Structure 1
Amino acid sequence: MKRSILSLLVAGTLTTSAFAGSMDTANKWEEGAKDAWIDGKAEATLLFNGNLNSFDINTDVQNGKVILTGKVDNSVDKKLAEELVANIDGVTDVDNQLTVVEEHDSEAMDGDDMDMDSATGKLTDAKIATVIKTRLLMDSDISGFDIDVDVEQGNVTLTGTVDSDAERDLAVEIAKNATDVTDVEDNLKVVQQKTAMKSE
């Protein structure tokens, strides 16, 4: 009797440890998948930003922490890259190891308030443009590739083509709903699809 109880305890312990092991494997796989998703999102976000040369920026993700390596032209670009990545869902921290390769020391030493305001404004505008462009590209009801997004001092200008008035209204609403946007200028044109005419 004691031997059978002992056997059951040993079998139970082995089963529990095996189950725990499979749970650990499942959790590690889930974390790995989440990190891969964040990594892809970070690369796409940096790529869609017209103010950054994303090909010189590398992203690596470990348990939600994004590590940025590579090089940028100035300190504004370095801060911009960090700001954009930090706003991605699931990111817990950003380790910004980007190297500034072309910092204009003489201008940086002047340190005028206007220069700082200009740099901050440029950073905010670039962030707004990236957020709007990403949302347009992610929305299945809009052809985001046909829409250009320009931002100056929080004022957004949308240019390009859409397939319907409803698409135009949706694009404008997406732009208006982005943080820090002060105004949206709609220069979008509704173009009926004429693929048959073009092919001739």
Structure 2
Amino acid sequence: MKRTLLSMIVATSLTTAAYAGDMNTDNKWEKGAKDAWIDGKAEATLLFNGNLDSFDINTDVDNGNVILTGKVENSVDKKLAEELVANIDGVKSVDNKLTIVENRKDMSEDSMSDDMKTAYDKSTSELTDAKIATVIKTRLLMDTDISGFDIDVDVEAGNVTLTGDVDSDAERDLVIAIAKGASDVKDVEDNLRVVTETAMN
């Protein structure tokens, strides 16, 4: 009887140890699979963004922490890449190591004529507006509580205009909060319309 009891205790101990080992392996596998999913999602998000040359951007993921390396043309593209990746589910942090490589010759503001300065400022402003619109639209499309395809996002000089249909006041508040939360946004104009199911029938 004692020998049988002793055998059962040993067997139970070995099974528990093996199970604990399997759990550690499972946890490592889960983390690896999650990192791979985040990496794939990050690459796809950057690839489908029309404002970025994603072939020059590399993403590496370690336990939910994303490292961006590669080249972009300006600081707006650098910020845009970071914001798009930071918004992906499961991303804990983004280490933005992207290098800015200007295509045109650097010119100091002193050497620019007034017309050139105006054109440069307009170009920078348009890039920033495009970045804001892309970030907001991406966040709306990725949020499962929002019907992002029904919402238009227009940006001019940092001022965002939201138009389209939402299902409830809560959804409208969420859309506005997302728009206000994007970097470089100065103001948000709400032209959203709450369309209830009864009204639609």
TM-score by length of 1: 0.60
- In the TM superposition, what are the counterparts of 1:166-181 in structure 2 within 5 Å? 174-175=175-176, 177=178, 178-179=180-181, 181=185
- In the TM superposition, what are the counterparts of 1:189-200 in structure 2 within 5 Å? none
Other-structure match for 1:193: none
Number of aligned residue pairs: 182
Matched, 1:156 2:157: no
Classify 1:165/1:92 alpha carbon distance in 2 versus 1 (closer, same or farther; 3 Å): closer
Other-structure match for 1:132: 136
> Which deviations, in whole Å up to 9, do the C-alpha atoms of 1:40-66 show, x marking residues without a partner?
442354345443223432323221121
Report SS of the residue matched to 1:51. coil
8 Å CA contact retained: 1:57, 1:69: yes
Gaps of 5+ in 1: 190-200
How far the C-alpha of 1:21 sits from its partner, in A, is 1.7
8 Å CA contact retained: 1:136, 1:171: no
How far the C-alpha of 1:23 sits from its partner, in A, is 0.8
Matched, 1:52 2:52: yes
Classify 1:127/1:53 alpha carbon distance in 2 versus 1 (closer, same or farther; 3 Å): same
Mapped to 1, the partners of 2:74 and 2:82 lie a distance apart of 13
Other-structure match for 2:98: 98
Other-structure match for 2:77: 77
Other-structure match for 1:15: 15
Other-structure match for 2:29: 29
How far the C-alpha of 1:149 sits from its partner, in A, is 2.8
Gaps of 5+ in 2: 111-116, 194-201
Instruction: Give the percent of matched residue pairs that are identical in Structure 1 and Structure 2.
Output: 71
Mapped to 1, the partners of 2:174 and 2:93 lie a distance apart of 30
Other-structure match for 2:61: 61
